[in-house]
Structure 1
Amino acid sequence: MKSDFKFSNLLGTVYRQGNLVYTNDGTTILSPVGNRVSVFDLINNKSFTLNYEHRKNISCIALNKQGTLLLSVDEDGRAILVNFKARTVLHHFNFKESVRALEFSPDGTHFAVAAGRFIQVWKTPDMAEDRQFAPFVRHRVYAGHYSDLTSVTWSGDSKYLLSTSKDMTARIYSLYTEDKEVKMTLAGHRDYVIKAFFDKDQEIIYTLSKDGALFRWEYTERPGEEEIAADEKHMSWRIISKNFFMSEAKLKCATFHAESNLLIVGFTNGEFRLYELPSFTMLQNLSMGSNAVNTIAVNSTGEWIAFGSRKLGQLLVYEWKSESYILKQQGHFDAMNCLTYSPDGSRIVTASDDGKIKIWDVVSGFCLATFEEHQSAVTAVAFAKRGQVMFSSSLDGTVRAWDLIRYRNFRTFTSTERIQFSCLAVDPSGEIVCAGSLDDFKIQVWSVQTAQLLDQLAGHEGPVSCLSFGTEGSPSLASASWDKTIRIWDIFGRSQTSEPFNVISECLSLAMRPDSKEVAASTLDGQILFWDIENAKQVRQIDGKRDITKGRYLEDRFTAANSARGKHFSTITYSFDGLSLVAAGNNNSICLYDLPNEVLLRRFTVSQNMQLNGTLQFLNSKNMTEAGALDLIDDDGELSDFEERRRLDAALPGSNRGDISSRATRPEIRVSSVGFSPTANAFACASTEGLLIYSIDDAFIFDPFDLDVDVTPEATLGILQEGDYLTSLVMSFRLNERYLIHKVYETIKFEDIPLVSKDLPVVYVEKLLTFIGSIAMESQHIEFNLTWVSNLLTHHGKYITRNKHIYSSALRSIQRFLNRVAKDVVKANFKNENLFDFFMVASSSKALQFSSFNNDEDDDDDEEEEEANGNDDDEEGWFGPGQVKKMTGTFENDSSDSEMDDE
């Protein structure tokens, strides 16, 4: 069992807070998700999450125009500089103040930071310059505002800065000292100035305030000085026009596309509008819900507009010209309770306290469907082993069956009494579904076909906490209860009696090994017990207390080492080979165990976010006061903006749950469910931060060709002429030029195909199969293409089998090509069967004279004979002797055909 799992993606949430950023090509959008950054590729329908973490939630991000450097800043002002192409962290920096806005200059040489009431301009680290000891070199600090800044914007030529503030003014600054007379204050608004923009020609400035006012400023002379000489006029920025949005809600955010003069504004009631400036003509007026629009971004072409809503964690990408949504995603409103993989491992189903069930695509990271039929929290989900059928249990007293082909609920199971179901299990055949409850001590058994209650298994003396079926072997049902027993039931037997396995403490989680011969149970005292089902005896025991990384809560007056909280596992699961087990619980640890040796292989940290309870380790006495923890005291003041205040105590007294998307309360770090992928190369964890995916990613293996930076078409053709086919093939894929790939592909000699296929890195296997599938339908080299496909599948078949979801498109094109070849061969053989017999007899007869075919009369006779035999030369599909031999024999080369023709 491999243990080199790494964090690969974060699903279940798409936006938390902060600003959205497009790449320069406008096809990819970056979204801050808690203390991480997720990247959504809108063209290829894929997403990934960068591996690094902040210590607190991210407040703003920025990407330079070249798309190479990403800068993200958390709520405390700590910044991380990332190489966006390589996805590696370059530098950590602390601005020592909360940052409200961050933006790179259009030329990429500087970036501006709105920290407090000052603008800090820093030089962008550049490899072309002399390498310095400190990557961040401050260019200048601009002061002048009397309150906190709300935004900072660069001009198109990267020479000027435009800032807005809560002091109801906007100010203009110059990047260079010699233009200090440019500095000017734009006043006149009656509320916070949210945003300010330059137009395309930098001759007009637009400012927007929170009360819905839009001012247009132009650089003109003072009124009444029209007749004064030009050198004596007093030029300044003046208000030319005032427009108002006339909305009952407050203006929340705005963005401006200078190339098309398109203004997009969002309000606190979820409404967003599109205006054309300077005429102030409203183009569209739509709404994304009843919650505030927190951020807006527009791509470089001005076609796609991205909206983010913090309350529900919504992310929308809207194409305003066609009035359609490119992307519409939303995470769970509340914490996830459970998860399960589909039988093929391509999808993950999650359920939450909000009563919703969401289906996530593993590859793209997007939500495919959402089910909202349940009226209360969903407690468990499970797949049938065969077919696209899923089951869910809920506290609303129902168990539902879902058809994932038509995406509908086709069965609803209920008990004779109104009870809340807390656990669920589906038998391997998919004919029986069982559910347990914390209200009743019985296990309900239904038939999936008839939806009738078949039986109620009685025997437990406490609430049933978990159920589990094996995936193979005998259909035995294992159940665990708070009565400190584990029971094994034969649901198809005549007797309901079962012998209990007694444990020391209450059972929290249960898992049956796939071969149905062993069951594992996690108990409240931190132990994991393993029982042999056939012999009814305990075979091993793992003490999990020593492997758990505990954390202290913010209000705790002791360190994590002295905390008794969370020293147990609340969810466990077997790997599909039964040799490993993953365990997690109400703590910051995910433990991977090797069962034959009973050792801990890996321990993963769920999150480093200090805004979650349970991530801190040590007690810092300076953060504690007589009134409690310093972070729990609201020190923003009564005169601060009510919408931006940190309402730390928004929940009812004694309530443990809050709005996880807006972080109104401080949630606890925990893992509610874990699940292994059927492909055995990944596992998922439903945590407070979202759905964490850990995988063994074979795609990111070491590629020695990445060390060579001189990859050009000329170099590729030169290496191809030298006979280094593997290197030239890889270089052509690196350049991604179709004509070059085609030339290298067909230049490779037939006898070298097995060697090149064997040594080809797996990174390029999918690309090569896709390319073969794209050209094979029109290509004349049937045997050549078939040999490539055969060798690639032979040498890389295991990897392709483990990653079917990656190769599905390429394999479909290859299958289409093979079907076409088989069809043509059968058709040609059927048409030319008699002709083939004739040539075989003729070639063995020495008396046959080929010269007789030149006689006109004999030609007519031959034509009549061929027509009588159904073999017409003019008929489509006629083959010569060499071609017939190639199609029916061993596909010889062209030289053998020419020799037969000479005979």
Structure 2
Amino acid sequence: MKTDFKFSNLCGTVYTKGNLCFTPDGNSLLSPVGNRISQFDLVNNKSFTFPFENKKNINRIALSPNASLLLSIDEDGRVLLVNFQRRIVLHEFNFKSKVADAQFSPDGKYFAVAVGKTIQVWKSPGFNREFSPFILHHKYIGHYDDITKITWSNNSRLFLSASKDMTVKIYPLILNKEFNTVTLSGHRDYVIGAYFSEDQETIYTISRDGALFIWKFSSLKEKDSDSSEEEEKKKDLMEIDDEPLKTNNDNNDNNNYNKNNKKRWRIIAKHYFNQSGAKVNCSDYHIKSNLLVVGFSSGIFGIWEMPEFNNIHTLSISQKKIDTVSINSTGEWLAFGSSKLGQLLVWEWQSESYVLKQQGHYYDMNTLSYSSDGQYIATGGDDGKVKVWNILSGFCFVTFSEHTSGVTMLEFAKNGQVLFSASLDGTVRAFDLIRYRNFRTFTSPTPIQFSSLAVDQSGEIVSAGSLDTFEIFVWSVQTGKLLDIMAGHEGPISGIAFSPSNDQLASSSWDGTVRTWDIFGRGKYVDVLRLTSDVLSVTYQPDGKQLAASTLDGQISFWDIENCTQTAFIEGRKDISGGRKMDDRRTAANSSSGKSFNSLCYSADGSCIIAGGNSKYICLYDVKEKLLIKKFQISHNLSLDGIREFLNSKYMTEAGPLNLIDNTGDLSDLEDRLDTSLPGTQKGDLSVRRVRPEIRTKCIKFSPTGRSWAAASTEGLLIYSLDEMLIFDPFDLEIEITPTTILSTLRSCDFLKALIMSFRLNERYLIHQVYETIPPDEIELIIKDLPEKYIDRLLKFISEHMEESPHIEFHLLWISKMLSTRGKYLKLHSNEFSSTFRLLQKAIGKMQEDIVKLCDDNKYMIKYILSACEKGEKVSEVENSIIEVK
């Protein structure tokens, strides 16, 4: 089994904090997720997460106008310069202070960064690795409080800066003696945004109290007929000269400058949003369409057309405040992010419909489960929600909210159409994934909390273990009736699992035992397996001959089920140890006393076992040799507790660690200062973090296909997979096997030899070429003569190639001939080919969905044409309807 798993995607979390950014084409959206960045392709309905990580949670991101460079800035001001197309980190830099905003100039030559009260303008670096790519152009000062927003003009010659000192300043990119910094004042609260109009003769400024000022650049001699002399005297405006503020790209001669012709910025209109106490949190302006979008603290956003201030649309999209808003290049899509609930929304305002509506678990994610074909992952969290994610797209397509308390365990039925969930609210629920509804609810005679769940191979029996009564309950799925209650444990049930080979049920408990039950026989239990400490997890090997259990002392014990004897154990405490919490009194090397594995899972072939727990590490062990193969560190985010190996003494104060001191009383908004957590508990409203969240793994599962594994962690749902496209792995390679000899063998119509040679060289494009060249009449003969060691490689190639190739009948012909010709061999070695069969099932299921959808579309189109012909319409008009049948 290959063990070179690499980070593939991050699901379960779509937005945490920071700003959203559209790509220049307007079809993709970049969203900061913790210390990573996820890209959502809104046209193709796919998402992926960039492989690099910042040291802490990302606070700001900025993308260059040509989509070549990406700036990723964390909470402490550390920035990563990324080649956006290749997804490679080019350089690291530190601004040494929190960055409030970062914007590239429209021409892409400069980028401006708001660091405290100053603005730093840097020259944009190149696309290659350089020794010192960041070159400072100039520092601009003048504000008396932190800067909140930076906006460039169209010609990249000027930029605006909005600040908490309630002023807006206009700075030139190239300083000259004739140009003085212009200050626009008059707001009575923090200025959230300031924007140029398309002709740059008008400026719109927005403050947090909901005031919008429209500034016009006009001559001193011009006065509004509606303004009185007293209003003119009250306006605190700075006088500036005309020539340096011209917005055309021509180089003006300063010697011809007429100092008698003065102009200034004057307020020509004041407008108010009037949102009944709600404050403005964010805003964005689209220059070409003159649309202004404003997000409020009440979860409402509005669209106004400028400069007339016509309210086009107002909608409530969240229960919490909107933290950021962004408009794409075409002005059709609006993106909103809410960090309190982890929501990410993309709204098409013209059709008034959602393009994207995603929300992760805003409390801890407790459990996950793979579907039988490995195409979907279900997750459950402390928020009581059950979400089902598509692995290919990375999106959640259904959410079940029937549970009223935290979800502790999930399990798919083997047919993949039913999902079971256990919860602390005392119910076990069954969800239909075809009609998307809760069709069965299982309860106990007395209210208890369920901590574990298991479903038998047939999907007809479901059982759950309790935390309070230490009993195991068994129900019938068809009738919903309680069949049996099995007692015997003396502590809370931590895990249960059905054997894959028979109807035996194993249960683990905090009483230090693992019990095996024969639920269909007369005996209550078969045997009791006693371990050295509290048992946290139990799982069966795929062939059902071995059982593994993890204990509180960090050990993994292996048991022979037939003889009920312990065969071996792994001492894993030192493997999982690592990371020091902020309040730990011991170093990371000596603080392994609390480390243990709370989740175990065998690989699809049973050769490896993966384990995770309350640590930043996930360990992969070889079952036969009982050795550590690889150790994965799931996160490097220093914003989480338990990541650092050594603590810095300069962050230690008399009140304790600096990062653990509560500073919420210093916040400006009342809703941020309120404490909604329950007294005496660590849980409650965890969306407002009172302490740093601790890095840990709640659940870990291998995919049934064996190509990936997923972990439910503090960061979200992390998916690691094998990537063979970039790996050269020859198989029985000989010196005479080259691409030239393979192609010459193929031209001589020796198809079997060419196929075997391509498998040995293991170049995908050559395998593809040979595979597609083989005529259908030769398939059965080639499969009969194909050596057995190449059968698995051929089936895996077909299953992966089916998702990309349109030759449906050709692929199905290969599969049917393989099953009919080599069916006996495949049946005898079904354990070895189980992951390959699941890959085929996944590919065929995806193909079936696409064909069914296409046939339904064509069926309705044919009905429309027939009905049109019956009504006597002309044939020429009907022929305009084009039907494409693939």
Q: Which category describes the TM-score, using the shorter chain as reference length?
A: 0.7 to 0.9
* Alpha-carbon distance, 1:487 to partner: 1.0
| Residue pair 1:550, 1:566 contacting (<8 A) in 2 also | no
Shift of 1:561: 2.4
| Pick aligned residue for 1:622 from 650, 654, 661 | 650
Letter in 1 for 2:68: T
Matching residue's letter, 1:150:
T
Matched, 1:671 2:700: no
Q: Which residue identity does 2:717 align to in structure 1? A: L
Q: Name the residue aligned to 1:742.
A: none
Per-residue CA deviation, residues 674-714 of structure 1 (Å, 9 max, x unaligned), is 0000110100000011000011122344699xxxxxxxxxx
> What residue in structure 2 maps to residue 575 of structure 1?
603
Answering whether residue 105 of structure 2 is matched by residue 78 of structure 1, we say no
Deviations for 1:801-852, whole angstroms, at most 9, x for unmatched residues? 5588865554665239989xx9xxxxxxxxxxxxxxxxxxxxxxxxxxxxxx
The 2-side partners of 1:283 and 1:805 are apart by 50
Local SS of the residue matching 1:698:
coil
Question: Which residue is 1:166 aligned to?
Answer: 164
In structure 1, distance between residues paired with 2:208 and 2:469: 55
2:588–2:645 contact (8 Å) kept in structure 1 = yes
**SS of 1:100 mapped into structure 2:** strand
**Closer/same/farther in 2, CA of residues 182 and 765 from structure 1, 3 Å limit:** farther
Match of 2:297 in 1: 268
Matched with 1:689 is 715
Tell me the distance in 2 between the aligned counterparts of 1:629 and 1:16.
24
Post-superposition CA distance 1:257-304 (Å, at most 9, x none): 101111111000000011111111111111112211110111111111
Partner of 1:344: 373
Confirm or deny: 8 A CA contact 2:573 2:592 kept in the other structure. no
For 1:275 and 1:816, locate their aligned partners in 2 and report how far apart those are by CA, in whole Å.
Answer: 56
Aligned to 1:220: 218
What is the match of residue 115 of structure 1? 115
Amino acid at match of 1:189: H
Aligned counterpart in structure 2 of residue 656 of structure 1, from 655, 674, 682: 682
1:230 deviation in Å? 7.4
Cα gap change, 1:384 to 1:20, in 2 (>3 Å): same
Name 1:717's counterpart in structure 2.
none
CA shift in 2, pair 1:809/1:584, >3 Å: closer
Partner SS for 2:597 = coil
Q: Deviations over 1:1-32 (max 9, x none)?
A: 21101111110000000000111111111000
Partner of residue 561 from structure 1, selected from 589, 598, 618:
589
SS at match of 1:26: coil
Q: Do structure 1's residue 642 and structure 2's residue 669 form an aligned pair?
A: yes
Matches within 5 A, 1:194-343: 194-223=192-221, 232-248=260-276, 249-343=278-372
Q: TM-score, normalised by structure 2?
A: 0.81
Q: Look up the SS of the partner of 1:181 in the other structure.
A: coil
Query: Match of 2:639, as an amino acid?
Result: Q
Relative distance call for 1:451 and 1:195 in structure 2 (3 A) is: same
The corresponding residue for 1:884 is none
Amino acid at match of 2:809: Q
Query: Residue in 2 aligned with 1:139?
Result: 137
- Match 1:496 to one of 524, 545, 568: 524
Structure 1 residue identity aligned to 2:669: F
CA distance change for structure 1 residues 433 and 264 in 2, over 3 Å: closer, same or farther? Answer: same
Counterpart in the other structure of 2:495: 466
**Letter of the 2:668 counterpart:** D
Amino acid at match of 2:702: F
List per-residue Cα deviations over 1:100-130 (Å, max 9, x = no partner).
00111111111110010100011111259xx
Distance 1:570 1:171 in 2: 56
Q: Provide structure 1 residue ranges, at least 5 long, that are not aligned to the other structure.
A: 705-722, 728-747, 773-781, 823-903
Question: Cα–Cα, structure 1 residues 552 and 655, in superposed 2: closer, same or farther, change >3 Å?
Answer: farther
Change (3 A) 1:170 1:394: same
| Contact 2:728-2:762 at 8 Å conserved across structures | no
The match for 2:627 is 599
Q: How far apart in 1 are the matches of 2:564 and 2:686?
A: 43
Partners of 2:767 and 2:28 lie apart in 1 by 23
| Cα distance in 1 for residues equivalent to 2:307 and 2:180 | 24
- Alpha-carbon offset, residue 406 of structure 1: 1.3
Q: Which residues of 2 match residues 366-515 of structure 1 at below 5 A?
A: 366-471=395-500, 473-515=501-543
Q: 1:785: how far off?
A: 9.2
Cα distance between partner residues in 2 of 1:464 and 1:389: 24
TM-fit CA distance, 1:252: 0.7
Shift of residue 549, structure 1, vs aligned partner:
3.2
> C-alpha displacement at 1:430, in angstroms?
1.2
For 2:24, what is the secondary structure of its paired residue? coil
Residue type of the alignment partner of 1:530: F
Higher Rg of the two aligned structures: 1
Query: Deviation per CA, 1:839-874, whole angstroms, max 9, x where unpaired?
Result: xxxxxxxxxxxxxxxxxxxxxxxxxxxxxxxxxxxx
RMSD (CA atoms)? 3.3
- Percent of paired sites with the same residue: 52
Letter in 1 for 2:322: V
CA contact (8 A) 1:658 1:667 kept: no
SS at match of 1:217: strand
Moved more, 352-361 or 445-454: 445-454
Question: Structure 2 vs 1, CA of residues 418 and 644 (structure 1 numbering), >3 Å: closer, same or farther?
Answer: closer
1:853 corresponds in structure 2 to: none
- Higher mean C-alpha displacement, 562-571 vs 618-627: 562-571
Question: Could you tell me whether the CA contact under 8 Å between 1:700 and 1:763 is conserved in 2?
Answer: no
Give the corresponding residue for 2:390: 361
- Aligned to 1:327, the other structure's residue is in SS state strand
Distance 2:651 2:780 in 1: 65
Distance 2:684 2:700 in 1: 23
Cα deviation per residue 1:419-464 (whole Å; 9 max; x = unaligned)? 1111011111111111110111221111112111111122222222
Query: Which residue number corresponds to residue 155 of structure 1?
Result: 153
Residues in 1 aligned to 2:703 and 2:209: alpha-carbon distance in whole angstroms: 51
Aligned partner of residue 698 in structure 2, secondary structure: strand
Residue equivalent to 1:876: none
Task: Kindly provide the amino acid, as one letter, of the partner of residue 238 in structure 1.
Answer: R
1:861 alignment counterpart: none
Q: CA deviation at 1:211?
A: 0.9
Q: Please give the secondary structure, in 1, of the residue aligned with 2:387.
A: strand
Alignment partners' CA distance in 1, 2:377 and 2:32: 22
- Three-state SS of the structure 2 residue aligned to 1:815 is helix
- Report how many aligned residue pairs link the two structures: 766
Deviations 1:222-262 (CA, angstroms, capped at 9, x unpaired): 24689x99752321222121111111210110001101111
CA–CA distance in structure 2, aligned partners of residues 657 and 22 of structure 1: 35
Q: Deviations over 1:872-899 (max 9, x none)?
A: xxxxxxxxxxxxxxxxxxxxxxxxxxxx
Q: In the TM superposition, what is the alpha-carbon distance from 1:658 to its structure 2 partner?
A: 5.4
Q: Is the 8 A contact 2:190 2:208 kept in 1?
A: yes
> What CA distance in whole angstroms lies between the structure 1 residues aligned with 2:800 and 2:612?
29
Q: 1:454 to 1:355 in 2, by over 3 A?
A: same
Aligned to 2:559: 531
Moved more, 800-809 or 459-468: 800-809
Question: Which amino acid is 1:693 matched to?
Answer: I
Q: Which residue identity is paired with 1:370?
A: T
Residues 718-775 of structure 1: CA distance to partner in whole angstroms, max 9, x if unpaired?
A: xxxxx99999xxxxxxxxxxxxxxxxxxxx97959996994898776999999x9xxx
**Counterpart amino acid of residue 339 in structure 2:** R
**1:658–1:665: 8 Å Cα contact kept in structure 2?**
no
Check the 8 A contact 1:346/1:805 in 2, yes or no. Answer: no
User: Cα distance 1:285–1:443, how it changes in 2: closer, same or farther (>3 A)?
Assistant: same
Q: Could you tell me which runs of 5 or more consecutive residues in structure 2 were left unpaired when the two chains were aligned.
A: 225-241, 243-256, 731-738, 817-886
